[in-house]
Amino acid sequence: MPELMDTAGRCLCSDWHVHELAITSSTNLVAAKYGAWEAVRADRQSAGRGRFQRGWVSDEGGLWLSAVVPTGPNAADWRALPLAVGLAVCDALQSIGLKRFRVRWPNDVLVDDRKLAGLLVDQFAPGLAVAGIGLNVFNHPEAHDPGLKNQVIRLADLLPAPPDLSQLTQILLNHLRPVVEVIRSEGFDALLPRINQLWGRPRRVELDLDGDLCLGTFVGVGREGELLLLSDAGNKTAYDASQVRHLKEIDL
């Protein structure tokens, strides 16, 4: 595979150790025992985990990957790691020629309101985070869960010849590492302008604040990754990600 370069011409060399498995319960749980810059990819997961204790269909042909990254002492920087992982995934998708995609807060990657990728960041040990990435590539999620019909999309639907799963693993990891290094060296807010370009147009949303519903327009995230909601009265309110159980787009 040719060497990948970032926009500043730096080499995005692969310094990851990747463990490849045929099947496991959840790559995030397996990755819990590994150290920084190690990653786990499985062909299938028998108990793939989504956000909010939901399951994640992980059939053969999809990319089920968990990467262990070192976190630093400034908790504010690392609270927003899931958004930074979303940026890395988008960088990777752009690098393989994908154009029409956007992110729905906090980090669902969508094409035409269909889910292409989902991310789940876990912290099992101090100083380390596990960035779990699920990307539909050649798999058929709706065949395993009819409820996903018209809800999901795969790289194979979007590109004439998607890279194979090993190549995609390298590409994703090679984009994840520099994003994490930026947080370590410059702080999360150095990524903010790029992250705020991922959402597409401002959208009307309903936030579930653990039972309390709140309407407004999602206008991006603030310096520490907090969600910014513009009320109909024109007031901007910031919500910490931990306050927001769910964001529903209501003007699709």
Give the other-Cβ count within 10 Å of 74's Cβ. Answer: 13
Nearest-approach distance from CB 63 to ligand BTN, in angstroms: 8
Which amino acid, 71? T
Q: Which of 37, 39, 59, 66 binds ligand BTN (CB under 6 A)?
A: 66
d(CA 50, CA 71): 22
Cα–Cα distances in Å, from 76 out to 39, 79, 160, 176?
24, 5, 41, 19
Query: What angle is formed at CA 242 by the lines to CA 191 and CA 133, rounded to 5 degrees?
Result: 55
Q: Is residue 56 a contact residue for ligand BTN (CB under 6 A)?
A: yes
Q: Which of 16, 34, 64, 188 binds ligand BTN (CB under 6 A)?
A: 64
Contact 121, 81 (CB under 8 A): yes
Q: Which residues pair with 38 in a beta bridge?
A: 17
Q: Is residue 27 a contact residue for ligand BTN (CB under 6 A)?
A: yes
Q: Which of 4, 50, 114, 157 binds ligand BTN (CB under 6 A)?
A: 50
Q: Is residue 154 a contact residue for ligand BTN (CB under 6 A)?
A: no
Which residue in the shown chain puts its C-beta closest to ligand BTN? 118
Considering only residues 79 through 138, tell me which ones interact with ligand BTN, judged by CB under 6 A.
108, 118-120, 132-134
Give the other-Cβ count within 10 Å of 148's Cβ. Answer: 16
Q: Which stretch binds ligand BTN (CB under 6 A): 9-17, 26-34, 136-144, 152-160?
A: 26-34
Q: Which of 10, 54, 144, 245 binds ligand BTN (CB under 6 A)?
A: 54
d(CA 90, CA 98): 9
Q: Is residue 44 a contact residue for ligand BTN (CB under 6 A)?
A: no
Binding positions for ligand BTN, rule: CB under 6 A: 26-28, 45, 48-51, 54, 56, 58, 64-66, 108, 118-120, 132-134
